[in-house]
Amino acid sequence: MRVQQTVAVGTAKRWLKRGAWLSVLALAVAVPLLAQVPGPDYGEFGIFGLDRRDAVWIAAQLHLLFAAFVLGVPMFAVVIEAIGIFGGDKKYDKLAKEFTRLLLVAYSATAIWGAILVFFLSTLYPRFWVYLTGIFAPSMWLYAVMFFAESFTLYLYYYGWDAWSKGAAKKVHWVLGILLNVWGTIVMLIANSWLTFMMSPPPELTADTAPQSVKLWSAIANATWMPINIHRLLANVVFGGAIVGAYAAYRFLTSETDEERAHYDWMGYTGNFIAIGALIVLPFAGYWLGREIYEFSQQMGITMMGGFMSWLWIIQAFLIGILFLTGNYYLWIGMGRIPGAERFQPYIKYMLLVLVIGVIVWATPNTMIADRDEIAAMGGQQHPFLGVLGVMSAKNTAVNLMILTTFLSFLMYRQANKRPVVSWAKAGTVLQFAAFAVAAAVVLFFGIRGYFVTAIVRIGFSVYQVAAVLATIVFVIGIDVAMSRGAESRGEIQWGKMPPRSQYALLILAVTFTWLMGLMGFARSGIRQHWHVYEVIRDTSEQAFTPALGPAATMISICVLIFFGLVGMIFWLGGLAEKSVYEEKDA
């Protein structure tokens, strides 16, 4: 039985690796060749009731989800490995290696779905593909080279873990992890330039402009390229942490010993900490991206926020509300395994109240779907009370207060089992409390003031709210780090002493964020409407329209189900491989 398991796992891994290398090779060869082949504007596709756009949608979404995972996980894996190296704690090194092991099959899946996407684009949208390669061909060659470099570095990084585990060799191994992140980030930057070019092409580009005459850097450094880079970088970290947390939850629920449960409880906490920590600052990057979209094209911005997509943001608000509530719920449950955390329990109900009210305000629409009698009773499309909560002044205030509350949960969790010994501990606590109070007052002041100024001034107020929250986070963390030096412990954290519902919370976080990524991808792509490249290349196919929210939600859900089906296989392979290793050692 052990031999069969080992052979099965080894065969699966070899098949996936070969598929990855062949996929990258196909990409490298196909890009320059297809750019020279003329053909029809659109290819034919009709399998399982899907049209050509559905096929590209599924392939692109799955490729991007796996790509987000394999870019996000190495970032915190290399940080955790550094903590183990410079802190001398081997458990961090073990955790970093386990994070990296998840990448092997996921990386192969990323390459395979990327090759499928290229195949679909080149055969179903040949004219458009030729146009893109005419502009971006040099960057596509660089993309393929960086993909090879990233894959080689990944396998060297993982399989050299034990061989380079001591002394200077360990630091060389850590440098490999840094290089892995560098190559992955370059790959992301290149791919982002292609998709943002479709949304915000350079102003000198017109329908009559020959692709070869467009300067490559002008096409890459378009108006939304850098905001997308920052937004996706943070989103990838959140996504990677969420998927790692889901893996830890799966292993926790299937563990047979207290030692395993303790390890995966710690792993799940670490993944959740990374995911929610990055989620706290992610909305700020989203605001920047939205502002750049408005500056590039007011029509595109109106379509996104005030047109038929406006109700999409209500769905988004509920999903982000689930993320904030579930992330805090997991932390509050986790306080049950920390000695000394009971002193914070009385405050949780007030924090929950702030979060619930914040979610309600954030999810309140500006206008309501109503029949003629209801509109007449309200005196217009806007409800006389709820309409006040449906504007950005209220929503910006709500989300910033939710971020402050979530940060407070992290701070309470961090301080739960510590007793500061520095002489100024009480003064430091007062300063932290004052910083929260000042930030909340600033957020509320500008939120209320926004109702009495013009729109352009109101938009500027959001900058002051964001600055107050970010300054508070940095200031409070600085004080907390200084106060924690030499702190006494109130007792050891009882890792593994968590109820199963805490692990279900981690699974909910992973599924919700995956669905949210698909929804936001639809929003970014859908605002182009009937354009392949906005106001440059028109989509003349039968699918030259933006689908309604219902069909879009169905397609996103299909992508999420396929993704988690594949992720479940990855989790199963990872657990089976580890079990085979343990059984061989025991034999």
DSSP 548: P
Determine contact, residues 319/512, Cβ cutoff 8 Å.
yes
Which pLDDT belongs to residue 577? 56
**475 lies in a domain?**
no
Question: Is residue 397 within 8 Å of 360, Cβ to Cβ?
Answer: no
**Element counts in the chain: helices (H) and strands (E):** 18, 4
Tally of structural domains, the chain: 1
The span from the CA of 439 to the CA of 178, in Å, is 36
The neighbouring-strand residues paired with 419 are 488
H/E run at residue 125: none
DSSP H/E element including 419: strand 418-419
Residue with tokens 């109070």: 437
Query: β-strand 531-533 against 488-489: which pairing, if any?
Result: unpaired
Asked if residue 391 is part of any domain, the answer here is: no
The verdict on residue 416 lying in a domain is no
Q: What pLDDT, on the 0 to 100 scale, is given for residue 576?
A: 63
**Range of 65's domain?**
2-338+493-586
The verdict on residue 389 lying in a domain is: no
Q: Is residue 435 part of a domain?
A: no
Q: What is the pLDDT of residue 308?
A: 74
Intervals of the chain under pLDDT 50: 1-21, 27-38, 580-587
The answer to whether residue 441 sits within a structural domain is no
Contacts of 423 (CB under 8 A, 6+ apart): none
Q: Which own/partner pairs from 482-485 qualify as long-range (CB within 8 Å, at least 24 positions apart)?
A: 482/422, 482/428, 483/420, 483/422, 483/425, 483/428, 483/429, 484/414, 484/415, 484/418, 484/420, 485/422
Q: What is the pLDDT of residue 348?
A: 92
Q: Is residue 347 part of a domain?
A: no
Residue type, 496: G
Looking at the domain assignment, is residue 367 inside a domain?
A: no
Q: Please, is 349 exposed, middle or buried when counting C-beta atoms within 10 Å of its C-beta (0-12, 13-18, 19+)?
A: exposed
pTM of the model: 0.85
* Structure letter (DSSP) for residue 450: G
